[in-house]
Amino acid sequence: MNTSRRGDETEATILGALMALGCSVSVPFGDSDRYDLIVDDSEALHRVQCKTGNWVNGAIRFNLYSSTVVEGSRVDAEYTPDEIDAYAVYSPETKRVYWIPISDTGAGEMRLRVEDPHPKAPKSRINWASDYLVTEQFD
């Protein structure tokens, strides 16, 4: 499946999950905005960037940037709090949607741990996927 189709399916899955939780979801016209959805939870509007998570060693990994090709070269652009409020991540492996405020992220990529890490793995800041379930955010 090409990446555009995969992204569309992820957005549709996330949109459905948010609507099932009672949120109103709007899709901006065109592709010029840095966010994919506007989510109204009746208390606030949230600019949301949708991502498909990749399964890596018991964790869901996703990029905190967009990639485009300009004049034959790849250009990565990090998202900022001026552009988005949160990431919504769908994991095909867990079949769940996760909601991550941009204030909880860093740079490059983020991993949401589903399985216990290897005993010798560093125990520095672990982001447990269960802490970011969208059902916990809007339920």
**Per-residue tokens: 63:** 């990029």
Strand pairing category for 86-91 and 45-52: parallel
Residue type, 130: S
**pLDDT tier, 120 (very low <50, low <70, confident <90, very high otherwise):** confident
Q: What is the CATH number of the domain that holds 89?
A: 3.40.1350.10
Whether the per-residue pLDDT at 80 is higher than 80: the answer is yes
pLDDT at 124 over 90: no
Is 90 exceeded by the pLDDT of residue 21? yes
Hey, what are 115's tokens? 């399985």
28 band by pLDDT with thresholds 50, 70 and 90: very high
pTM recorded for the entire structure: 0.91
Could you tell me the CA-to-CA distances from 41 to 1, 17, 24, 26, 45 in Å, in that order? 32, 13, 7, 11, 7
Decide if 102 contacts 62 (C-beta within 8 A).
no
Instruction: Give the pLDDT confidence of 98-114 residue by residue, as tens digits.
Output: 999 999 999 999 999 99
> What is the average pLDDT across 91-95?
97
Other beta carbons within 10 Å of 96: 21
- Overall domain count for the chain: 1
Domain that holds residue 122: 3-138
